[in-house]
Amino acid sequence: MTTLSAEASGTPTTRLLPTPAGDARAFIHPAVGEVRGWYLAGHGAGGGIEARDLVALAAALPALGITVALIEQPWRVAGKKLAPAPKKLDEGWVPAVEGLVGEMDGLPFAASGRSAGARVACRTASATGAAGVVALAFPLHPPGKPKASRAAELLGAGVPTLVLQGERDPFGGPAEFPELDERAQLTPVPYADHGFSVGKKAPVTQEETLALITGTTGTWLTSLFA
C-alpha cells in the first residue's frame, strides 16, 4: 500500500484531464492513511457529480483507504446540457482514466458510474484495466421499454461487478435483471428510485439508504483491493 502524508490526506483537489472529446475534470478525494486503491466514478446523462450517491461515496470511502475521483465528463465541463452518444461518452472517459492511472503507483482501481456512467464503466472496464466495476442505478432499459435491454453491457464487463439498484427504478428494478455470474453481486436498495431517493412515507430514511450504498460499496471494494 501507499501512504499519503497527513498534509495531503482529506484535501480534495481538482484537475483537468485532456480527452479527444474535450477536457474532463476530476475531483479527487484522497484516502486517509494507507491507500488500498482508487475508486473512479462518473455521472449520469441527466446530472453531474453532485448526485447524492456520488457525494456520499466520496465522503465515506477515503476513511477506508480508498482515494475517490469523481470524473466530470467533457460535455458537462463545457457547460452543455445534453449528453452525447455513448461512443462520445467512452471517448471522454477512457483517456481521463488513463490520465489518473499514472498517479496510482500501481495500485488497483474500480471503475464506477451512475446510470449512463455505469454503462460507460461496464463498456470500458477491460480497456482501462479496471479491477472491478461498481454500477450505480444501471439503466437496464428505457422506462416502459423492458424489451430494449442493455443487459449485454453489464454482462460483458469482464471483471467483478457490484450493482446497486433501487427497487422502484423505472429503468429496471432488481427483479428484472438477468442471472449474473459468480463474480457479480446485485444489491437491491429498498424503496429507492433511479436517483436512490426514498419517499417520505418509506420505512427507511434517506440517510439509511445512503448508508446502505456506502457500506455495501466500501465492503465490496475492501475485498476487491485485498
- Selection from 155, 157, 158, 112 nearest residue 137 by Cα: 112
Residue 10 has what pLDDT?
53
| Residues 163-197 pLDDT 10s | 999 999 999 999 999 999 999 999 999 999 999 99
Residue 12 has what pLDDT?
85
Cα–Cα dist 107/226, whole Å: 11
Mean pLDDT calculated for residue range 108-115? 98
The pLDDT-based confidence of 212 (bands split at 50, 70, 90) is: very high
| Those residues with Cβ within 8 angstroms of residue 179's Cβ, 6 or more apart along the chain or in another chain | none
- The pTM assigned to this predicted structure is 0.94
| Residues 29-82 pLDDT 10s | 999 999 999 999 999 999 999 999 999 999 999 999 999 999 999 999 999 999
Cα–Cα dist 151/159, whole Å: 15
CA dihedral 150, 214, 212, 177 (to 10 degrees): 10
Lookup: cell for 48: 453531474
| Residues 128-165 pLDDT 10s | 999 999 999 999 999 999 999 999 999 999 999 999 99
Q: Dmax of the chain from CA atoms?
A: 52
Cα–Cα dist 137/156, whole Å: 17
- Selection from 14, 18, 22, 20 nearest residue 79 by Cα: 22
